[in-house]
Amino acid sequence: MSVSLSGQLINLLAALLLLIAFAMLSQRRVLSLINLFAWQGVVLTISTLVVAMSTQQQHLYYSAALTLVLKVIILPWILHRLIRKLNVKWDVETLINIPTTMLVGIMLVIFAFNLALPITQLAGTITRSTLGIAIAIVLLSFLMMLTRRKAIPQVIGFLAMENGLFFAATSATYGMPLVVELGIALDVLVGMFILGIFFFQIRETFDSLDLRHMEKLKDE
Amino acid sequence: MEILWLLGMPLFGGIFLATVGCRRFAPEVNAVFSFATFIAAAVLTTRIINDGPITAFDEQFFIDSFNVFLVALTAFVAFTTSLFSRPYMRIEQHHGRLTINMLRLYHSMYQLFTFTMLLALTTNNMGIMWVAMEAATLTTVLLVSLYRTPASLEAAWKYFILCGVGIAQALFGTILLYFAAERVLGPGGDSLLWTHLNAVKTQLEPTVLSLAFVFLLVGYGTKVGLAPLHNWLPDAHAEGPTPVSAVLSGLLLNVALYAVVRSKVLADGALGTNFAGNLMMGFGLLSVVVAAFFLSRQKDVKRMFAYSSIEHMGLVTFAFGMGGAVATFAGLLHMTVHSLTKSAIFFAVGHATQTTGTQLMENIRGLIKQSPTIGWGLMLGTLAILGMPPFGVFASEFLILTTAMHSHPWATPILLLALGVAFASIFAKVQPMVFGETDLPRLPHPPALVPVFVHLALVLLLGLFIPPYLAGWYQQAAALLGK
Amino acid sequence: MTLLPIDIAGGVVVYWLVLGMFSLLLIGSPKHITQLIFPAGALGALVLAGTGLVALGQTPNVAVLPLGLPDLPFHLRLDALSAFFLMLLGAAGFAISLYSAGYFRHMEARALALLALQYHFFLASMALVLLANDAYLFMVAWESMALSSYFLVTTDHKVPEIRKAGYLYLLIAHVGAISILLAFGVMQGGHGIAAYTFDAMRTAHLTPFWASITFSLALFGFGAKAGLLPVHVWLPEAHPAAPSPVSAMMSGIMLKTAIYGLLRITFDFLGGEIWWWGVLALTLGLITALFGVMFAAVQTDMKRLLAYSSIENIGILLVGIGLAILFHANGKESLAALALTATLYHALNHAFFKSLLFLGTGSVLHATGERNLGRLGGLIRRMPWVAALVLVGTLAIAGLPPLNGFVSEWLLLQAFLLTPDLPQPYLNMLIPVATAAIALAAALAAYVMVKFYGIVFLGQPRDEKLNEAHDAGWWERLGLAWLALGCILLGLFPVQVILQLDHVTQALIGDTLGMSAAKTGWLFLTPIAPERASYSPLFFLLAILVVLLITFLAVRRFYHGRLRRGPAWDCGFPEQTPRMQDSAEGFGQPIRQIFEPFFLIEREVPSPFDREPRYHGRSEDKLWYGLYLPIAKAADKLSAWISILQHGRIHLYLMYSFVTLLLMLVLVRWS
Amino acid sequence: MSAQLSGILFQLFQSLLVVAIAPLLLGWVNQCRAWLQNRSGAGVLQPYRTLRKLFHKDAVIAHNASPLFRVTPYILFSCMWLAAGVVPVLATDLPFSPAADVIALVGIFALARVFIALAAMDIGTSFGTLGARREMLVAFLAEPALLMVFFTASLISHSTQLPTIVEALAHTQFTLYPSMAFAAIAFVMILLAENARIPVDNPTTHLELTMIHEAMILEYSARHLALIEWASSIKLLAYTTIGFALFVPYGIAEAGNWAALPLALIALGVKLVAAGAGLALLETISAKMRIFRAPEFLGTAFLLAVLGMLIHFLLGA
């Protein structure tokens, strides 16, 4: 396919990712939060594939596959299992109310674009403007982490951040070296397992995943 | 080949201890593996000193005088800590705070943790370095929550989330680095090799590099424990088992700082300004001051020394930020003596808390009467960490302060204030713990404090006499960085 | 190869270190530690004193040890200044070690071994401070000195007050050390690590601004060790807390190392060029001297009294240094030499009589277990040796002719009298006031000393148990006698002493006193010219003795010498009890009344109905409440305020890193 | 040689003379006071009789008196004698005078004072210690003041040697020194205080609450007391002659100049008579003050002396 077309596609997908990020930021229900996360994975996979096709980078196919397996199938599955095991179906409680969060989010996006401006000027790849979006996604997920009160949404925010980084890696730089990608994937997986263990431990100790129980250690 | 041994030993050891377990002798096996690792490190070190920097496995690994000294330090402290943890964990088990399975987890994770740190140090690939750093977090997070107490869980959770988020920033920084490198070196695995980057660092895109460095600094800085990214550190140190606190504070922080410094070298090359250095000095000063003021309000002994670690890391960061041969040398020296002294202190504290059964300082009194070795170990260690000569910490602080007075006089009043406050706070707490009366009986069996005094002896040596080869090695490293 | 003085001095240092280690081996037999280790240490001190004396006249000799930092091995240098202070250290240390041999004999074995170790490390580190020729070695020795003395002070760490004293001491010492270190940081010449040698610092050229910064840092740092206002608070706590020989060593010798450091930096490195340094030192010194003597006058604990008197003497020393700088900066070298000579002389004198007095209190403490002046008295009858020897020290420190204290004060006053030809007119206004202040301090010192001696040794015992007091043993007497002899000789042969001091002044400011001082023969001390001022203590003493003899014989010859003993005249009031004597508070009362605004006074006055009426008055240091506690409070507040950072909520922690990240991104993008 | 010899002879003569006539001055002062109070008085020679009587008595000392107590009177006496020997009463540059300049002179007085104070504390009666304390209180204010007076003089004459001062003041052409005026007033106040005269102390009282000097020597009797009394009369004379040397240094001969001796003697006599009368007058017209007014009194003297020095700098004279 032609470069320009793929470029447009990438931009489209980038916009889609940003949209999903906002959706997650505004999402109140955990289950749909997880689904959104899965969708993010899907879009990520597609974008990776597009880049791979357009640039004929062999290892990008692997990383696309990796993404599909890890971020679309395994992680959401683990999360769903957790939800069922811990039978937590509560809504997401936020520290700041949603509209404000959105407002801040928009600010962040503008900031991110400004930040990326000088770099996108000199980006040689077909996907110049995606870097800004990647930064935006990272910052948005960060914002999400620090506005969510419960443990699981925080983790999802963490994973979403990972996605943003991954997107930056693929789109802006045609993907990291494969070794690195594998390593990263491994870390994410292990991290996820450990989190799983954690949830159970936290649960059996505090019989809730509310982070308010975990504010004992302090100096005052 | 030493590298293979170096990395293989702990990796295999971790898997072995996880699978086989060998319940009764696990501590000894653990110590044996650590010892083997130490031997490998020693061999490697001698080789580097003799015939300069080497790369291995088509440049995937790169060892120069800078990281080899950290490798040696890491392996050594890991070994002594394993010696210390042998009786310590046994006693914990007798006290019924740990089950056999927890111990199994502990031992295998201990080895894996060593592995990840050594990997992060030896690898030449900035990406792999990131992977190793993240892995180091993952291996230790379960150790922090080993006791499964609410407090330890909370600490571990914070540790995990904060460091995870931080490290994610570092990843983004790495990506940006790659983004910049790719345009010079072209795509492919080699563009993330530090040696290559270092070779072309002047051509790297300044704007990208500055951005990258910010992300890297925030990312790895979180693990170094620079204020205001430090909040996980005191919790994790206070709640984990003492050997873990010792290696966390003695080694992990060093490794993270190592990553920062490696990035700084690239950033300096690309920017040609002291931008990176100034940022590091700022963070360093802030950490020193904040930590110093935290110290005075501590009740938990391990927590207090955790803050002192933040303070010292801040000092080292400041030193590296200043740059220049002397300051960098001082920074390296301070890394060494700090990890030696601080781990020694944690050993002593560990025994003290075990014998008194509390970590609250106002309940610990008259150690010197109850067990002179613990008492003197703690007292001397504290004085050493407070920068009292003739201990080595003083040597590095001397160089750092005087250099600062020469090149950045504005910083010295802040440092003076912070060091004064730190001294006042820590000593006010430790003196009554060591001195004074106690109603506790003397210990039935004297605790094994060999590691403590070995460390202190080394620190003392470094304060009075730095062996020539060690000196040459430091200076190579300083010359490498201090541009 | 020939054996240079520096080799011997270094040898003594090593010898002391080894001796200290060795005492740990003797942990089993305390008898040997006291009877062997301490006398051996004393021997080393004697050798050191001799070496110093020899080295005074010689050209500086240097040595380099293969220790220390890379490219910065330990440099040693023995020049006139170091030699003088080494001599001081050796001479006083000899007596103190002899005394300790007897004093510590009843101590518990383990503690004694540790004490011997720290004691000799203390001696060695002090000697090393004087020998050091590079900043690093100096600082190492300096802090080791602080550390070993801290452990000595807290020998009896069971007592909370003593722990507090030790803590305060080490804290202030450490802060002072850091400030000294910064001073070195400014002075380091050239670049690289080799710039920390003193030789490099001598050649380094500083702008007046930086030179002044250095001087101020040094003044603060060394002042903190010397007990200069306002960083004196540790001194009256730490000196009494320590065992008496240690107090003697801290007061008599350690304080002098601070003076040494100040002289070294001010004259040797900075060249003492800027005149207002002199004014600063002078003013601080005067304030310190007056403060010290005032507080000494109202003390009720004999060791605290002596500690405050040490503060006074440090003040006087600083006044001398100030004058020297003033003259030197104005190019009046001979007068600078006079002031400096007075300073050095007084340092030497103080080492002798203050050690003597502290050791004396040690014997009293040992014999009576009592430090409180309110429960002592009449000991001259129980402990004639100590009383007689301490009397010498008392008269000497009170600045009475023909003893040594008078000589240095006389020289200092002469220096003052010669100030009027300074170019700065308003300084000439200041000088008379300063002179008056010094004279006042000297006179008050006499008051204090009469109080000290009179209440401890004279009168009737204020407590029953004093009647079991025993005199000091032979080791103690030996030590005391040596010091007393020193006080007398230093008083009687000033010209000879000054001829030795000239080497130092020559080295520091390139002019001397001795040639003019000895102009009219060794008998008469004439600092400038015979017709301007002269003083001959020996002549003085002889005259008094002759007249005394004549009078005595005459009285004996012409009138019978019958003598009857009777009860003391009670002024018609039959029930005289020892408690009716002046108490320590009572004796200090006039001072407290006259200088009331300087004290923070708390009184317990008995009500008329008290069965056991007791008057109790304490005079506190206003600075402690006005300066130190506020600082501590402020620090505490600040830390409380900062601790909010660690409030335990992970969201806010995340917020910190988020905001930090954003801020830095802003920084990097828009800068 | 002969010059030296005659110098020594001169020295001897002056010393003996001073010791001899000291009680006379005391007697004269008391006589004048008697006259001023319309009493006939005991006569000028009364002090001599007192001394003789005391010397003949048996000495009684307290049981617990230490050697210090017994040796003090002798030390006191010889200190005063030495002081009187140093002051140029009749002639300048005596062989003694280089041994002690004015500062040393103050030192001698201080030495004597410390000893008498210690001796007073030795027995341990409430009055002894009380007297010692008060004595030291007076001293620590009077001594610096005296030094300041001397310094004013020595700033003018660039010397701390009394003979040189006398030379400078007397044997150069006559000049008025305003600074010396202040010094003179201060000096008189100090003289009163140091010699236990009214208004600071009362030499004749034995009223416990007011006495200072007498309180210290309560325990002394017989020859010891005699020596002390004699010493204090010498002290008075020494102070007076110091005053002469500083403020009216006229008629004082050079050493060895026997020819000038008669003149010097006459001058001395005249001055002493005048001074004694003046002292008596002062004591009669002023009242004894409370002990705690004494610091104010001496403080004033101190300030006056310092003022004198300042004025010297301000006016250069």
Pairing of β D59-62 and β C563-566: parallel
Please state, in angstroms and rounded to a whole number, the distance separating the CA atoms of residues A41 and A34.
11
Question: B150 touching A, CB under 8 A?
Answer: yes
- Comparing B36-45, B167-176, B405-414, C555-564, the range with the smallest average pLDDT is C555-564
Q: Determine contact: B292 vs chain A, CB below 8 A.
A: no
What is the Cβ-side half-sphere exposure of residue A67, based on CA atoms within 13 angstroms? 30
Residue B71 has pLDDT above 50, yes or no: yes
Region D165-188: what's the mean pLDDT? 81
Helices then strands, counting H and E runs in chain A, come out as 9, 0
Element (H, E) at B255: helix B253-271
Chain A contact for C644, CB < 8 A?
Answer: yes
Q: Give me the residue from C432, C443, C459 closest to D129, CB to CB.
A: C459
For residues B447 and C386, the model is more confident at C386
CA distance D3 to D18: 22
Lowest mean pLDDT among B287-291, B385-389, C659-663, D253-257: D253-257
Contacts of C226 by beta carbon, 8 Å cutoff, 6+ apart: C255, C258, C259, C262, C314, C317, C318
Task: Provide the β-strand partners of residue B61.
Answer: B56, B123
For the cut 70, the answer to whether the pLDDT of residue C318 exceeds it is yes
CA–CA dist C444, C290 (Å, integer): 9
Query: Is B18 within 8 Å of chain A by CB?
Result: no
Q: How far is A128 from chain B (nearest CA, A)?
A: 12
Q: What does the pLDDT look like over A101-128, one tens digit per residue?
A: 888 888 888 888 888 887 777 655 555 6
Tokens of B100: 């056999």
The answer to whether position A15 is within a domain reads yes
> Taking CB atoms and an 8 Å cutoff, what residues of chain C touch D85?
543
Of residues B173 and C614, more confidence is placed in B173
Q: Given this model, what pLDDT does residue B22 score?
A: 64
Interface check B276 vs C, CB under 8 A: no
Q: How confident is the model at residue B446 (pLDDT cuts 50, 70, 90)?
A: low
Helix axes of C404-417 and D102-123: crossing angle, nearest 10 degrees: 140
pLDDT, average across residues C554-573: 79
Q: Which residues of C touch A145 (CB under 8 A)?
A: 654
Distance CA B259, CA B220 (A): 7
What's the pLDDT at B77? 93
Do B297 and C650 lie within an 8 Å CB cutoff?
no
| Nearest-angstrom CA–CA distance, B316 and B319 | 5
Residues 98-157 on B with a CB inside 8 Å of C are: 157
Pairwise CB contact (< 8 Å): C563 & D58 = yes
**D227: CB partners within 8 A, 6+ apart:** C551, C555, D73, D74, D76, D77
Per-residue b or e along D202-234, where b marks 16 or more CB atoms closer than 10 Å to that residue's CB: bbebeebebbbbbbbbbbbbbbbbbbbbbbbbb
Which candidate from C646, C647, C658 shows the least CB-CB separation from A146? C658
Statement: residue B220 has pLDDT above 90 = yes
Tell me the C-alpha to C-alpha distance, in Å, between residue C213 and each of C209, C325, C358, C415: 6, 16, 36, 27
Residue C309 reports pLDDT greater than 90: yes
CA distance D100 to chain C (A): 5
Q: Please enumerate in sequence order all residues whose Cβ is within 8 A of that of C60, keeping only pairs 6 or more positions apart, or say none.
A: C77, C78, C79, C80, C507
pLDDT at A2 over 60: no
Q: What is the pLDDT of residues C214-226, one digit of tens each?
A: 999 999 999 999 9
- Are the beta carbons of A142 and C646 separated by less than 8 Å? no
Q: What are the chain A neighbours of B158 within 8 Å (beta carbons)?
A: 214, 217
> Helix C425-457 and helix C584-594: axis angle, to 10°?
160
Would you say D148 and C440 are in contact if contact means Cβ atoms under 8 Å apart?
A: no
Return the residue of C nearest to B478 by Cα: C192
The gap between the terminal CA atoms of chain A, to the nearest Å, is 62
Q: What is the pLDDT of residues A71-103, one digit of tens each?
A: 888 888 888 888 887 776 666 667 777 888 888
Centre a 10 Å sphere on the Cβ of residue C59 and count the other Cβ atoms it contains. Answer: 9
- Residue D59, classed as helix, strand or coil, is strand
pLDDT tens digits, one per residue of A43-75: 999 988 888 888 787 888 888 888 888 888 888
Provide the shortest C-alpha distance from residue A132 to chain C (in Å). 13
Mutate to test the interface with A, among B125, B153, B231, B237 (most CBs of A within 10 A): B153
Q: What is the pLDDT of residue C216?
A: 93
Q: Which residues, in sequence order, are bridge partners of residue B286?
A: none
Q: What is the DSSP letter of D299?
A: H
Answer whether the bond into residue C420 is a cis peptide, omega within 30°: no
Q: Which residue of A has its CA nearest to B186?
A: A173
Q: Is the CB of C2 inside 8 Å of chain A's CB atoms?
A: no
Question: Going by C-beta distance under 8 Å and a sequence separation of 6 or more, which residues neighbour residue B114?
Answer: B10, B34, B37, B74, B75, B78
DSSP C154: G
Q: What is the pLDDT of residue A3?
A: 56
Which pLDDT value is given to residue D1?
47
Q: How far is B462 from chain A (nearest CA, A)?
A: 35
Range of the domain at A40: 3-212
The partner residues of C68 in beta bridges, in order of sequence, read B465, C73
CA distance B354 to chain C (A): 23
The domain locations on chain C are 331-556
CB contacts < 8 A, B to C, total: 168
Q: pLDDT tens digits for C176-208?
A: 999 999 999 888 866 677 788 888 888 888 888
Return the residue of C nearest to D131 by Cα: C582
pLDDT band of residue A1 (cuts 50, 70, 90) is very low
Cα B305 to its chain centre, rounded Å, is 13
The answer for C 128-147 residues in CB contact with B (under 8 A) is 135-136, 139-140, 142-144, 147
* Interchain contact A/B (3 or more Cβ pairs less than 8 Å): yes
Q: How many domains does chain A have?
A: 1
> According to the model, what pLDDT value does residue D2 have?
64
Q: What digits encode the pLDDT tens for the residues B78-105?
A: 999 999 888 888 888 888 888 888 888 8
Check: CB of residue D294 under 8 Å from CB of residue D200: yes
Q: Cβ–Cβ contacts within 10 Å for residue C111, how many?
A: 15
Look up tokens 């335990």; give the residue.
C648
Among B210, B202, B170, B207, residue whose Cα is nearest residue B184: B202
Mean pLDDT lowest among A77-91, A186-200, C403-417:
A77-91
How many CB atoms are located within 10 Å of the residue C541 CB?
Answer: 17
**D83 is written with which tokens?**
């002081």
Report the distance separating Cα C330 and Cα B392, nearest Å: 44
Residue B193: phi and psi, rounded to 5, are: -75, 130
Task: State the pLDDT at residue C146.
Answer: 92
Contact yes or no for A220 and C662 at CB 8 A? no
Residue A218 lies in a domain: no
Cβ atoms of B157 and A202 within 8 Å: the answer is: yes
Kindly list the residues from chain C whose CB atom is less than 8 angstroms away from the CB atom of residue D144. Answer: 436, 439-440, 442-443
Distance CA D212, CA D120 (A): 11
Which chain D residues have a beta carbon less than 8 Å from that of C455? 121
Of B237-241, C114-118, C396-400, C621-625, least confident by mean pLDDT is C621-625
Tokens representing residue B6 in the block: 């170096």
| Minimum-distance CB partner of B154 among A183, A197, A217 | A217
User: Cβ contacts (< 8 Å) between C576 and chain D: which residues?
Assistant: 125-126
Distance CA B304, CA D51 (A): 80
Given C429, C440, C535, which is nearest D100 (Cβ)?
Answer: C535
Q: Do C669 and A114 touch (CB under 8 A)?
A: yes
Helices (H) and strands (E) in chain C, counts: 27, 5
CB-based contacts of A145, cutoff 8 Å, min separation 6 = A154, A157, A158, A161, B161, B165, C654
Q: Say if the Cβ atoms of B192 and A176 lie within 8 Å.
A: yes
Question: Minimal Cα–Cα distance from C480 to chain B, Å?
Answer: 33
Mean pLDDT computed over C414-428 = 76
Query: CB C651 to CB A146 under 8 A?
Result: yes
Determine, yes or no, domain membership for A73. Answer: yes
Q: Do chains C and A touch (3 or more CB pairs under 8 A)?
A: yes
Partner C contacted by B229 (CB < 8 A): yes
Q: Which residue's entry shows tokens 């007073």?
A: D120
Q: How far apart are CA C14 and CA C121, in angstroms?
A: 10
Q: How confident is the model at residue D291 (pLDDT cuts 50, 70, 90)?
A: confident
Determine the Cα–Cα distance for residues B326 and B319; give it in Å rounded to an integer: 9
Nearest-CA residue of chain B relative to A55? Answer: B187
Token pair recorded at residue A182: 């594998």
* Chain B nearest CA to C75, separation (Å): 13
* Position A122 in a domain: yes
List the beta bridge partners of residue B193.
B125
Q: Is the CB of residue C69 less than 8 Å away from at least one CB of chain B?
A: yes
> What chains are in contact with C, requiring at least 3 Cβ pairs below 8 Å?
A, B, D
For C646, the closest chain B residue by CA position comes to B231
Q: pLDDT at position D55, please?
A: 86
Q: Which residues numbered 70-129 in C keep a CB inside 8 Å of some CB on B?
A: 70
CA distance B347 to B334: 19
Answer yes or no: do B421 and C635 touch at CB < 8 A. yes
Beta bridge partners of C616: C604
Query: Cα separation of D188 and D182, whole Å?
Result: 10
The answer to whether the beta carbons of residues C311 and C226 sit under 8 Å apart is no
Cα distance between residue B464 and residue C609, in whole Å: 67
**Chain A residue whose CA is closest to B307:** A219
